Structure 1
Amino acid sequence: MQFVLPWGQFGLCLLAIGLAGPVLTRSGQAIAQLTGMSASWVGLVMLATATSLPELFTGISAVTIADAPDIAMGDALGSCIFNLVMLALLDALSRDTPVWRRIDQGHILTASFGIILISFVGALVLIARSDLNFRIGHVSVYSPLLLVLYAVAMRAAFFYERRPERITPVQDKEEVGISLKRALIRYILSASVIGATGAWLPFVGLEIAEVMGWKTSFVGTLLVAAATSLPELIVTISALRMGMADMAIGNLLGSNLFAILVIALDDLAYTQDSFFAVVSPAHAVTAFAASIMAGLCIVGLLYRPGNRFFGFLGWISLSLLAVYLLSSYAIYLYGH
């Protein structure tokens, strides 16, 4: 019975997020059509913010109530690599044309900022136990810099998407089949369900770690990260099936940027000690793996490979999958 209860709670979390995800996708598509915003921008900002709410609530509740900083850090960085390995899934689902040939090269901008931010966090995890760990009270001086870099990334993406050649025509509600007000209400309601479920996840993760005898850094990086990334998975697959591959990729890459914002907020919320100093150094492996995967994503966007092994996955997608599996095994071995 002690095994059934935490896994049952985990299943309920997955069910709630799974039901809210498709509603969020359809709402985002309607908002894009009614406002003239590009699919990439809606995916990058609106969908990424909503689908990343579980990481936000999980991280804050993990460091304030559950006192589990490794769950918070593992969830955020684990979500990054989970989001990037989803690109391999999209490639497999894109049967007619490799996904790398269906998406706009403008995503290189977001992926590049992702490498900068994620690598920065990986370095912070390693230097936090040295004399370079400058703090004001319990807060690292580097966390405000992460917030600034996130704002710079969003500003750059905004002005890039506002270029005349990237603006899409506005449709009226008769063509879309729903008003902007109704689409926004659905967006807010589905985002609220996803966020509330995310607040429950760190406690479920700790219970599972206890009954299974697993390390909390491993649980945070794989189990909780996979659960909180379920909205990205469902929204991304839904967007691809709707023929909006750019919205799908924008959601994944935007979620990675938001995950780094969450880490900075976790540092502000964790008052026990230095957040970066108490988490396992093994999280740096996850951060650098995510940076490598984002680099592979940029290669795919530029090179646009067409060959597939067994007609299923291209070499970029296979490389993403390999890095994900190796980093997961490393965090299992060396985490605490």
Structure 2
Amino acid sequence: MIVLLFLLSAIVVVAAAIKLNQYGDVISQKSSLNGMIVGTFLIAGATSLPELTTSLTAVAIGNPDIAVGNMLGSNVFNLLILAVFDFLYRRNKMFEKVSIQHRYTASLGIILFLIITSSLMLPNMIEIFGVGLDMLFIVFIYLVGSKWISNHSQATRSNSENEVVSDMSLKHATVGFIIAAIVTFLAGSMLAITGDKLAASTGLNASFVGSFLIAASTSLPELVTVYTAFRLANYDLAIGSILGSNLFNMQLLVLTDVMYRDSAITVAASSSHLLTAMLGMFMGGVALYSLLRKGVTTTWRYVLPSLLITVVYFITSYMMF
């Protein structure tokens, strides 16, 4: 019964998150607010809402392992999505056809993973008003890095404005977004609760449940986004949605630390998350290498980094299981 509820919750989360993305896109098109602000925060927040509600619920029921594992696991699974699609569409050589700005975003993601990896190695963490110092570093570096990336990507942003304008009204999109957000909140909460019970009833490691089972479920909306982008040959959208979502998820991890009052959340979480954090740093580094290299002659030589990411991900999953 628990497994059935878990699967049902995952399906509802995916369906609601896809709707959130669709409605958020319409709002970004038709709102009087700045398009970059609405798109960056509203749409990125829409695809990351399942991770947020799941992790906050995990904190509420006193399971920091699922909260931390969900965020880190979602980022790792997102990079896996990118690698798998790059492998399937290897003849198109995606990483050689995208904007240079993605290198900066990938580098920022690696730095944030490095901070989490370092904090998980420490037995204690300096806290300020109950929030770990590592989380404050994450916020600071994210803000500085985002500002730097924004200043160096003005020329490329205008090229991504060629999109089909939806016939849906702004009012319809706003109401739909709110309803979908409520559904996502409820389903995401159920996903965390059933995941917690699944770990207890089956004897599975809570870190494994959070890092892989729940993380994979909440990352499926990103999979749909990347699939659509590849079908349209819009590789900038594919990479940007994944790397941007990963940066946003790191900020949501900060929020979970604020909500978790017992201690710094990286201290309360199991040390087994260190493996996931190191995996994310490795996968991010390989993705950055793919973005930096140019002029690969053969298709199979080109796709080796993505193949490496995929193989290492499944080996790590087996080790945690």
Normalising by structure 2, we get a TM-score of: 0.86
Match of 2:190 among 187, 200, 205: 200
Counterpart check, 1:296 vs 2:286: yes
How big is the shift at 1:84?
Answer: 0.5
Q: Distance in 2 between matches of 1:239 and 1:172?
A: 12
How big is the shift at 1:257?
Answer: 1.1
Counterpart check, 1:138 vs 2:130: yes
Aligned residues: 318
Q: What is the match of residue 84 of structure 2?
A: 89
RMSD: 3.0
Q: Distance in 2 between matches of 1:188 and 1:247?
A: 25
Counterpart check, 1:209 vs 2:199: yes
SS, match of residue 298 in structure 2: coil
Q: Distance in 2 between matches of 1:208 and 1:75?
A: 15
- 1:3-82 to 2 correspondences below 5 Å: 5-27=1-23, 30=26, 45-64=41-60, 66-82=61-77
Per-residue Cα deviation, 1:238-283 (whole angstroms, up to 9, x for no partner)? 2332443322222211121122112222221111233222211121
Larger CA deviation: 273-282 vs 187-196:
187-196
User: CA separation of 1:42/1:95 partners in 2, compared to 1, >3 Å: closer, same or farther?
Assistant: farther
User: CA separation of 1:27/1:92 partners in 2, compared to 1, >3 Å: closer, same or farther?
Assistant: farther
Per-residue Cα deviation, 1:182-209 (whole angstroms, up to 9, x for no partner)? 4555455444433432222111111111
Q: What is the match of residue 166 of structure 1?
A: 157
Counterpart check, 1:314 vs 2:303: yes
Per-residue Cα deviation, 1:77-118 (whole angstroms, up to 9, x for no partner)? 111110101112221443651322343232111111100111
Quick check: 2:17–2:49 contact (8 Å CA) kept in 1?
no
Counterpart residue identity of residue 202, structure 1:
A
SS, match of residue 152 in structure 2: helix
Q: Distance in 1 between matches of 2:283 and 2:46?
A: 23
- 1:256-275 to 2 correspondences below 5 Å: 256-275=246-265
Q: Distance in 1 between matches of 2:320 and 2:38?
A: 33
Per-residue Cα deviation, 1:148-187 (whole angstroms, up to 9, x for no partner)? 22222333333334x24531486798x6444555455545
Q: What is the match of residue 327 of structure 1?
A: 316
Match of 1:147 among 128, 139, 143: 139
Counterpart residue identity of residue 183, structure 2:
V
Unaligned runs of 5+ in 2: none
How big is the shift at 1:317?
Answer: 0.9
Q: Distance in 2 between matches of 1:179 and 1:153?
A: 35
How big is the shift at 1:144?
Answer: 2.0
Q: Distance in 2 between matches of 1:240 and 1:168?
A: 18
Q: What is the match of residue 99 of structure 2?
A: 104
Match of 1:221 among 194, 201, 211: 211
Q: Distance in 2 between matches of 1:188 and 1:158?
A: 29
Q: Distance in 1 between matches of 2:38 and 2:231?
A: 16
Counterpart check, 1:282 vs 2:272: yes
Quick check: 2:74–2:219 contact (8 Å CA) kept in 1?
yes
Counterpart check, 1:255 vs 2:245: yes
Q: Distance in 2 between matches of 1:42 and 1:301?
A: 27
Q: Distance in 2 between matches of 1:171 and 1:76?
A: 32
Q: Distance in 2 between matches of 1:169 and 1:83?
A: 22
User: CA separation of 1:43/1:106 partners in 2, compared to 1, >3 Å: closer, same or farther?
Assistant: farther
Counterpart residue identity of residue 53, structure 1:
L
Normalising by structure 1, we get a TM-score of: 0.83
